[in-house]
Amino acid sequence: MLIRNQLNSTNIVIAIDGTSASGKSTNARLVAQALDFIYVNTGAMYRTLAWHGLQKNIDVHDPKAVATLCRRWKTTLECVEQTVRLLVDGYYPEKEIRTDAVSEAVPHVAAVAQVRRWMKEKQRECLRFGNLVMEGRDIGTNVFPETDFKFYLDASLAERAKRRAAEGVQENLAARDRRDSQRASAPLMIALGAVVIDNSNLTPEQTSAMILERVRAKLKPA
């Protein structure tokens, strides 16, 4: 399905959802590069808000404080080298949002309903940059439920933990999965019509090839 954007033209959105360390980011980048689409990492947007909250000494466990922060922060979207960035006061905290402290804070920030509504609006604005490959946890179910290009990536808990360890990140993935799937607002779930890919034993190249095959088949003229 072509999705109408704010400039009254239509663009394609490929939604790639999935669990933590299931390869969403790597595969979304590969697919975007192969198709010359714009890559959007929605997780980075939530991390940016979490980082901003920590910088402002906000209690990330206080939903009201987080919601107030989200209403008041000054942000802009920019597209650099085919990748969308969310800037705070004109700054993109590329390295800062990957710290352990932000990783610990982001699930609490992301669970706030007002934050998810704000993020949905901001993420839909990305259509102005062109055709998108957008990865996250609620793209096919909440942000762009109307798209015909929905994918859900997963892998065994052991494999995902191994991937995180290789990145030098210590994260309780089982706990993160529970928080993501049980939150009241836009929980992690498989979108209706999504293609589910278990890539426990697949390389990123194999996984992205599966996605590209299905996308190109749908885009091929009848």
Report pLDDT digits (tens) over 59-110.
999 999 999 999 999 999 999 999 999 999 999 999 999 998 998 999 999 9
Q: What pLDDT is stored for residue 5 in this prediction?
A: 58
| Residue 102's CATH number | 3.40.50.300
* Res. 170: pLDDT tops 80: no
Strand segments, DSSP code E, in 92-157 are: 132-136, 149-154
Residue 210, SS3?
A: helix
Q: Which domain holds residue 146?
A: 3-219
Question: What pLDDT digit, counting tens, does each position of 12-31 carry?
Answer: 999 999 998 899 999 999 99
Q: Of 197, 129, 153, which is closest to residue 43 (Cα–Cα)? A: 153
Q: Going by DSSP bridges, is the β-strand pair 75-80/83-88 parallel, antiparallel, or unpaired?
A: antiparallel
Question: What pLDDT digit, counting tens, does each position of 123-137 carry?
Answer: 999 999 999 999 999
DSSP element (H, E) containing 77: strand 75-80
Provide the token pair at 134.
């957008």
d(Cα 135, Cα 24) in Å, to the nearest integer? 6
* Res. 162: pLDDT tops 50: yes
* Res. 38: pLDDT tops 70: yes
Q: How many domains does the chain have?
A: 1
